[in-house]
Amino acid sequence: MSQNRSHAVMAQRAEPHDSLDDFPSPPWSVRALCEHGLPMNLFPHNLRALSVWEPAANRGYMVAPLREYFGSVRASDVHDYGAGFEVLDFLMPIRPAELPDMVITNPPFRLATAFVRRAMSVARLGCAMLVRGTWMETLERYELFQEIPPSLIAQFAERVPMVKGRLDRKASTATAYAWVIFLHGQTDTRWRHIPPCRKTLERASDWPADEVAA
């Protein structure tokens, strides 16, 4: 029997070193952070009063749901995907004119540790990173967590399918994802499940028109 090597079932994905790591986030996964992830951490803030910077904005699939919850959302990316966002390398050591309350993003996998350090240096409250479950492994993450302990690891109980270069409503995956939340002043790491919520949080308008019509 031949081994199935499709991206739908592989638990790992390999990207070239110079890849843009273009795996757009389904909007419902962002709503899950706002509805479940942040409240799990006893986040004592009214989201509508807060500002967010999304520095890997891609085509805006995360930006749109963030704007449903937060008062203001700045969107930028190192590459111009045609969405009209600011083209900016988030990792450049330039202090923004206005500090955001939170940095929330799906960072390039190989740069996620650097994204956390940069985010915590510019965000007034902290950051939330959507990462693969395997991101918690390795000596690099051990050292990061010793330096900047997460406040919450919020593991999705259901899969969050992502495919390269597009949103795909029918995609499947063997890759597990979690929101890892870092907050200044909170160093006692909690681990929680984000309950199954895709059916209640996704909307037909989240998907490209051809996906909805299919």
The residues, any chain, with a CB within 8 Å of residue 9's CB and separated by 6 or more, are 172, 173, 174
pLDDT value at residue 15: 41
What is the mean predicted confidence (pLDDT) over 118-147? 97
What confidence tens digit (pLDDT) does each residue in 136-191 have? 999 999 999 999 999 999 999 999 999 988 888 999 889 999 999 999 999 999 99
Among 3.40.50.150, 3.30.980.10, 2.60.120.260, 3.40.309.10, name the CATH number for the domain at 27-213: 3.40.50.150
Quick one: pLDDT at residue 42?
74
Percentage of the chain modeled with pLDDT above 90: 76
Secondary structure, 3-state, the chain:
CCCCCCCCCCCCCCCCCCCCCCCCCCHHHHHHHHHHHHHHCCCCCCHHHCEEEECCCCCCCCHHHHHHHCCEEEEEECCCCCCCCEECCCCCCCCCCCCCCEEEECCCHHHHHHHHHHHHHHCCCEEEEEEEHHHHCCHHHHHHHHHCCCCEEEEECCCCCCECCECCCCCCCCCCEEEEEEECCCCCCEEEEECCCHHHHCCHHHCCHHHHHC
pLDDT at position 194 over 90: yes
What pLDDT, on the 0 to 100 scale, is given for residue 210? Answer: 58
For the chain, the structural domain boundaries read 27-213
Sign, CA dihedral 184-31-180-118, equals negative
Q: What is the pLDDT of residues 59-83, one digit of tens each?
A: 999 999 999 999 999 999 999 999 9
Would you state the pLDDT for residue 214? Answer: 52
CA distance 155 to 178: 4
> Is the pTM value of this prediction over 0.85?
yes
